Structure 1
Amino acid sequence: MQHAHAFIDDGLHYLPHYFSVPLDYSDESAGELTIFAREVRLVGDQQSQKPWLIFFQGGPGFPALRPSGNSGWVKRALQEYRVLLLDQRGTGNSSVISHQTLAHLSAEQQANYLTHFRADNIVRDAEFIREQFGVEKWATLGQSFGGFCSLTYLSMFPDSLSRSYITGGVPSISRHADDVYHATFKRTQTKNHAFFAQFPKAQALCQAIADHLLDNEEYLPNGQRFTVEQFQQIGINFGMSGSFLTIYYWLENAFVEINGQLQLRYEFLNAMLAEQGFQTNPIYAILHESIYCQGFASNWSAHRVRSQYPEFNYQKGQPFLFTGEMVFPWMFEQYKNLQPLQQAAEMLASKTDWNSLYDAIQLSHNKVPVSCAVYADDMFVEMDYSRETLAIIPNAKAWITNEYEHNGLRADGERVLDRLIAMGNQTSATLI
């Protein structure tokens, strides 16, 4: 593998770091992974004694952001921290998982391998890096699933943390995945109603596209047949600010007439393929439900819960609804790059002996200042469940707001992180 080099851009100094860590921390004979993390600091800060902040990306299954300049939350963080952007194991430059890299393994080997890529081992990797750096304590910033990782860190290695900042990512530490999906299906219904209320023509456009897909074979640029179920999944964007207008523009430009026959335009089909992030990041699909599993199997939770919301199963003549952040077993039949992982996905969906990810007793004795942005209308992380969790964690403060959607850190990161840092400073002052 070709290693990245240090470089300078827009007043920021970027330094790559690679680490060899155990695949399985309980059995070092099981092999090693390469973990990549990118250090970012202000030019001129080489001799600085600023503390460290490690960033946990949302997902699961996506690498840390690649900053495009000194802006957003990175700009605010660098005022008082050195930032470490961690590519979580299996993502980015960290022993990446894809249909290509898993192709040589049997289904059982794939499933066994993938069990080592949840939050507990992501946190163990971070702790390994902290020790390699010789850092006594550092702060964490967790966005979405990264916030889940932050609570796992607070459960496993609380003495290693100085502060914890969480945006849109305070999970329930005890509820079943079914509870999560009941909540998210209801939130997704609300987002659908808001979208179709804002764009009165959108419902007819969606029905026209869905009916066309039921009656005709249309193929994405990768050769995969495009279906109604796949079309519905672009509704995941409803959890992000500014998404409604983009989706409407897609809808009104979906068709082209060729020799008197309507077809879906190549531009539309290409946009739909680009929305299928699990083609390139299969961890998101194959391990998504396991992030809620502690000692029980998911058994395709979202698929089972969906049966109680029949309005999401489109039929001609019925209203059309988009789905959200859910994964379903049919995805491993329809999506080209998920097909080789179908058997492994079934094995993981039925796995019952998942390790615990959170320690409720440890969290109930928490001494680390925790500052959270909890989004009241979050489509992915239910506000009520976040409040349940925060109620048992001492020294945790929540900024509950409807100013932002789930992507508040991306949309207005400098302000969001500034608010969380101020909250952390207040909590820290009361602990002294």
Structure 2
Amino acid sequence: MTITDSATTSLADRWRDAAPPHDSAGWIARAREVADILAVDAVERDRANQAPYGEVELLKASGLVTLLGPREHGGAGETWDTAYKVIRAVARGDGSIGQVLGYHYLWAWAARLVATDAQVAAVEELYTSNAFLFGGAVNPRDSDLVIREDGDDLIFSGRKSFSTGGRVSDLTVLEGVLEGTETHIFAIVPTAQEGIVFAGDWDNLGQRLTESGSVEIRDVRVPWSDAAGFVDKQFQSLVYNTLNVPAIQLVFANFYLGIAEGALETASAYTRERTRPWPYGGDDKQRATEEWYVLEGYGTLQSKLWADEALLDAVGAEISAVLHAPREELTERRRGEIAVRIAAGKLRIVDDGLEVASKIYELTGARATSNAVGLDIFWRNLRTHSLHDPIAYKKREVGEYVLLSQVPVPTWYT
């Protein structure tokens, strides 16, 4: 089974006559429905490595794409606290699609992070009323796109080696440096245009359906009036502008947790149904679910994920409150304290998630290594994206806070 165009239509019918959820719990339940659909053929779709058009249509039909959008334009008007839990729930069924959705939420919020009030209103009405999906050509490790002025326009040119959302997005966030200056400029543009050329070259170990390949930006023209946060060609700077990094780092941590939860859930179902007890240990059991080492193993792994969930939920509530508060209120110290807590949550779920994705083989048994079972997808997905930035630096950030009461200086990664 794969998510074809015809299947997408029938899946859209699933919610056609249903009232949208009216609270956070309802939206998380909706996300779990989506995850259950995705989980059915996640391994097959991962191996096919096709651009996830059908999967994105599923996100749109379910209403998850406009979760953070204003109610007056048809959105759910939900908070980031809910969004993080929705990302986690979707990633439980398919880590790639959890990432696509999480990045979409961050880029959909990008206008609020840096734009003027008028720009925010225009962008949120556009994407919410049309259920548009965001992608982003904003990989900071690459040389920035070059921006040159042409009268009242800006022209973006260059290349990014990663652009999550790629061909399946409706809108793309561009970021570059104005020629002859050190001024960074963000702008939101339609994806479908001649000047945005995706290579379709994302063929990595994991997160294979994130459409994260390279992109060429060839003379994409943007009015100066669309330069996010600029008034009379001057950027209006706030500490709030720098929340993009901690916000997306917590996106990462939540879809890592979702992947790890999916791994444990899939493995435990396999153990209940197919794992055989060991007959040569002198303590023979009738079922694998009676084996002491199997019970101990699952108990240890679940305990770690419950602890990770508690930490991520707590810091998710903290940053959500700040993201929805007036932008002028945020201080550098408060921003830094939240970033440290997010770093702590991320480093824990990376370590614990990779342990879960590896340890489940010891608990399911040798037959579970069959490609038909597909348990490898969880480790591959976690291992791939957790290399986004070195986890050692997250540990250092937490250590500097504990020992020196220092908070991270905002960069593209802190």
TM-score by length of 2: 0.30
Which structure carries more helix by proportion? 2
Which structure carries more strand by proportion? 1
